[in-house]
Amino acid sequence: MEKKVRKPLRKTISELLCFICISSLLVSLFSFTALAEDTNSSSSINSNDKISTSLSSKLGEISKTEKVPVIIELPNQNIKFNTAAGKSQIESEQKNLVKFLESEKSKSNAQEIKSIKLINAIAVKVTPGVVASLAKRSDVARIEPDQIVSIPEQSETSLEKVKISTTQSNAASTDAWGIDKIDAPAVWKQGITGKGITVAVVDTGIDATHNDLDDLDDSSSTNDPKVVGWIDYVNSQSSAYDDNGHGTHVSGTISGTGANGIQTGVAPGTKLIVAKVFDSEGSGYLSDSILGFEWAVNNNARIISFSGGSSEHSSLFTTTINKVVAAGIVPVIAAGNDGLYGSGTINCPGDEINSVTVGATDSSSSIAYFSSRGPVTLSGQTYIKPDVSAPGVSVPSTYPGGGYASGSGTSMATPHVSGTAALILQKNPTMKPSEVKQKLESTAKDLGSTGKDNDYGSGLINAYKAVFGSALSSPVANFSASPTSGKVPLTVAFTDTSTGTPTKWKWSFGDGTTSVQQNPKHKYSKAGSYTVVLTAANAAGSNTVTKTNYIVVVSKPAAA
């Protein structure tokens, strides 16, 4: 039997006091820790509610050490990202979150941290454990997957190179059919070419050395580059390039000058800035596309041309489009190429109500079978999409290496609208994005069902009507010549004096020769009276004038 020993009373009291002190210290430490944790945790929102359903599913499929690309959205979305004060505030709000992610990066739990100021978010690749920690933070509002965004799969999957006989050295360029279809040449005749307007192409890149895209006036004696801005979110290259071809094709339809033989650009006077967000296969992360939009706003673009998207909607694109429009930039977006699957197939961000969403038509103005259809139901609203249509079947445009290629898709239709928006803004530089959109829709040629519909939108765009407010009328042909008589050989300069904005000319000089130049010179080598015929034409029609025995050529007197 164990003998019990009674402790002295003084020692017992001393131990009790020591226990009370230690207990108080532990309680204090626990309270301090809880308080510290509360500054970075959310008590009002269940942490699981911050993780999107699609991300939760993804996390369940990967290991604890595998990293998943996510976009972390911060609570405050009411900051003007494109002001100095706004940028400073966003950096301040993101500071602690970035510090946490950097710490996780040092533990190999995170990588590739990217700040996105446009939507006050951070993109990063993290392990599932880090996602769980992020969801507990009060400075995190929502965690979404950084999903893959891509060029809409084309109905003709590859751009087919076009062989041309016309070159800069032997004749003027030939217009691509889509340019004529929307009456763009008639706009140029009035001095409107998109001059002074910068368009951002957010795509696969650009061949900035292509003769149609290297400068504004196609003159080697001037230093006026067309591509005035470049950023590469895929490979971080400092010089412009295009390892896919899609971005160069899109750029040519917006701004190509025709120097190499085909006039592809709707607005050849525009400048371009280009953000590469898609890789050589035409795919990229959502975060890079949004960063491309942000960069475009910060570099003075008036229009963003985006021929990419996803069949899966992202609310982050809702924020992106709305903020771009609020900043005064027109977002022109491809509808997508899922029309074969019927209605409700508009891709994101073409599904955004504030996007100018573009469907594709063929040379007969029929909607392309692949062009995605509306309607769109989003945020409790159901509305018609696309907004307008444009040429998008077998469209020739610039291709890396100096040539041309033909492609089909709403990707090809979209830059026709981007170029037209540039023409509108040159004529009306103070127009807001909503006004440009309204102008494009209200002046479009109604096709399909009467009024705006889910196939064509408001119809096929008309550049001339959108810029000048009235439809193009047929020309009235007329011309003059100097001299109209003389001795063999006689060189005559013909001057087109037609009215009604013709864009094409065909001359017959009466001696079996012809010309398609506007103001040609012709040498008569034989004596005689020659009847000259001019046919002047534009997209609205044509007119012919004939001047009988107009040029009189006499023989030289015989030598004495």
In the beta sheet, which residues pair with residue 391? 361
Instruction: Give the per-residue pLDDT at 558.
Output: 61
Q: What is the DSSP letter of 157?
A: -
pLDDT at 44: 42
Closest CA to 398 of 259, 201, 301: 259
Q: How many residues does the structure list for the chain?
A: 560
Q: How far apart are CA 228 and CA 274, in angstroms?
A: 8
Q: Which of 266, 234, 245 is nearest to 154 (CA)?
A: 245
Q: Which of 121, 111, 130 is nearest to 59 (CA)?
A: 130
What pLDDT is stored for residue 36 in this prediction?
A: 35
Does residue 203 have an active-site annotation? yes
Q: Name the token pair of 305.
A: 């041309």
What is the rounded CA–CA span in Å between residue 57 and residue 285? 19
Given CA atoms 228, 232, 233, 237 in this order, what sign does their dihedral have? negative
SS3 537: strand
How much is the pLDDT for 473? 85
Max distance between CA atoms of the chain, in angstroms, equals 163
Rounded Cα gap, residues 241 and 91, in angstroms = 31
Strand duo 148-150 + 198-203: pairing = unpaired
Q: pLDDT at position 465, please?
A: 95
Question: Is-catalytic flag, 175?
Answer: no
Q: What is the pLDDT of residue 197?
A: 98
Q: Which of 355, 411, 458, 498 is catalytic?
A: 411
Among 139, 146, 183, 203, the active-site one is: 203
φ/ψ of 307, rounded to 5, equals -100, 50
* Residues 511, 495 contacting (CB under 8 angstroms): no
Count of CB atoms within 10 A of residue 279's CB?
A: 18
Token pair, residue 340, equals 């074969």
The series of mean pLDDT values per 10 residues for the chain, 560 residues long, is: 35 43 39 38 60 91 94 95 95 97 96 97 97 96 96 62 46 81 95 97 97 89 92 98 96 96 96 98 97 98 97 95 97 97 97 98 97 96 97 96 94 98 97 96 96 97 94 91 96 95 94 95 96 93 96 80
Helix 246-255 and helix 410-427, axial crossing angle in degrees, nearest 10: 30
Active-site pick, 180, 212, 246, 288: 246
Residue 204 contacts residue 233 (beta carbons within 8 Å): no
Packing angle, helices 128-135 and 84-106, rounded to 10: 130
pLDDT value for 158:
57
In angstroms, the CA 72 to CA 315 distance is 12
- Write out pLDDT tens, residues 442-490: 999 999 999 999 999 999 999 999 999 877 888 999 999 999 999 999 9
Q: Are 116 and 294 in contact (CB under 8 A)?
A: yes
User: Residue written as tokens 């439809």?
Assistant: 471
Alpha carbons 519 and 534: distance in angstroms, whole number? 11
Quote the pLDDT of residue 470: 79
Q: How far apart are CA 453 and CA 450, in angstroms?
A: 8
Burial (CB count <10 Å: 0-12, 13-18, 19+), residue 552: middle
Q: Is the pTM of this model over 0.75?
A: yes
- CB contact set of 524 (below 8 Å; sequence gap of 6+): 488, 489, 490, 491, 492, 509, 511, 530, 551, 553
Rounded Cα distance between 89 and 76, Å, is 10
Placement of tokens 């001359």 in the chain: 507
All domains in the chain, ordered by first residue? 47-146 (3.30.70.80), 191-468 (3.40.50.200), 479-554 (2.60.40.10)
DSSP annotation of 322: H
Residue among 367, 425, 421 at smallest CA distance from 391: 367
Tokens found for residue 25: 């210290």
411 noted as active-site residue: yes
pLDDT reported for residue 13: 40
- The continuous run of DSSP H or E covering 297 comes out as helix 286-298
Q: Which amino acid is at 374?
A: G
Which residue spans within 434-489 are E strands per DSSP? 479-482, 485-487
Residue 398 contacts residue 252 (beta carbons within 8 Å) = yes
